[in-house]
Amino acid sequence: MNRLTYLAKRLALGVPVVLFGLTMSFLIMYRGPIDPVMTILGRDATASDIRQLRIALGYIRPNGTQVPIWEQYATVMYDLFTLQFGQSWIIQRGVPVTEVIGNRMPATLWLGWWSVVIALLFGIPIGLFAGLKANSWSDYLASGGGIIWRAMPNFWLAVMLAGSLSAGGALGWYRGLGSDYGLKTDVIGTPDEVGNLFTVVDLFQGVPVLELLFLPIPNVGNVLIAFKWILPAALVLGSASMGNEIRIGRTAVLESINSKYVETAKAKGLSSRRIIVKHVGRNAVVPLLPVIMGEFYLLIGGSVLVEKVFSINGLGNLFFRAVLGPDIPVVMGLVFIFVVIQVLMNILQDLLYTMVDPRITLEDAGR
């Protein structure tokens, strides 16, 4: 099976999964024991207002009859799959959901990107190092750290770190760091002050977000400010993954080092550097792949908590407020995006598997 047919097949198989996730969310949001109309209008709404809104939200028809649930379902699903996300009900009433989400996307992308990068940059080397020095003191330190690091709840770590960063805290100096060079940021503040940092410092200068990830960045100073601002939150968000990477990386290296093929490589007279880089390295990546890809999963959930503690006005915060609202179109839009990302990530993971480990064929990878 070549890669393209495989890709098509996996995408097709992904549709029921997305559908299932959305159906579940639909049932919860539309059939759960809440009445969004009353929440939106408040207690002293007039009967006609209520009627108006019910019609607008698609619960009843203009002639007053109930819209059957399956019809609501069909409409919602059709709209989502045709990427018509509708308008926000509560958070920014009447504003298109795409715009509500789009406004908050950059902060979360920025946060997620750094949390992944930082976890990878520290977690994997530490794990590999611990594996190479197995049963030494530095190994115990690293793997012990990994065990604790991955058991720490994100929200708690966030609270502790945010607290230490506040004025007078143990890490209070961080705020002033580099302020001589214009790197002034409060790190934590109200969402209005800091959350919209991106608009405040005009980081992107109108460059669309996605391009920004690949293009030379317009203003280095602003990027540094944005980095300084996001670093603590990204550290926290990546913490659990980093712990996992240390642990799994260590076992993977150990397993590889004790393998027969490393013995063979030694018998060939290869240098230990070459053995570690070439033979151990690539084999150790195989078990690490699911951990790395799993990061994205942890990231989406974790962003709700971390963004709340660090007052970052991103998608996690938005989701939380939308659910409490309830701002159902925003919730459904976000769930749609998250689920699709999740399914795509799974496919990407399987493709990567086949690339790193030739024994795994595309057919196996689907399992």
Closer residue to another protein in complex, CB, 145/218: 145
How many whole angstroms separate alpha carbon 323 and alpha carbon 329? 10
C-alpha distance from residue 228 to each of 30, 113, 191, 231, 256 (Å): 41, 14, 16, 5, 38
CB of 203 to another protein, least distance (A): 27
Residue showing tokens 């084999």: 283
Tell me how many residues contact another protein (CB under 8 A): 94
CB of 289 to another protein, least distance (A): 8
How many whole angstroms separate alpha carbon 131 and alpha carbon 142? 10
Nearest CA to 127 out of 149, 111, 103 is that of 149
Question: Which span (4-12, 28-36, 192-200, 210-218) binds another protein, by CB under 8 A?
Answer: 28-36
Which string of x and - marks every residue 247-286 that binds another protein (by CB under 8 A)? xx--xx-xx---xxx-xxxxxxxxxx-x---xx--xx--x
DSSP state of 177: T
Q: By the 8 A CB rule, do 3 and 351 touch?
A: yes
Question: With binding defined as CB under 8 A, does residue 134 bind another protein?
Answer: no
Closer residue to another protein in complex, CB, 120/298: 298
Question: Binding another protein by CB under 8 A: which of 141, 170, 207, 215?
Answer: 170
Question: Binding another protein by CB under 8 A: which of 88, 108, 143, 154?
Answer: 154
Burial class of residue 271, CB neighbours in 10 A (0-12, 13-18, 19+): exposed
Question: With binding defined as CB under 8 A, does residue 311 bind another protein?
Answer: no
Query: 225 to 244, contacts with another protein by CB under 8 A?
Result: 239-241, 243-244
Q: By the 8 A CB rule, do 269 and 237 touch?
A: no
Question: With binding defined as CB under 8 A, does residue 67 bind another protein?
Answer: no
Query: 172 to 231, contacts with another protein by CB under 8 A?
Result: 172
Which are the contacts of 302, defined by CB distance < 8 A and separation ≥ 6?
154, 237, 240, 316
Residue showing tokens 């799959």: 81
Question: With binding defined as CB under 8 A, does residue 145 bind another protein?
Answer: no
Residues pairing with 96 in the sheet: 87
CB of 218 to another protein, least distance (A): 33
Question: Which span (56-64, 66-74, 159-167, 186-194) binds another protein, by CB under 8 A?
Answer: 159-167
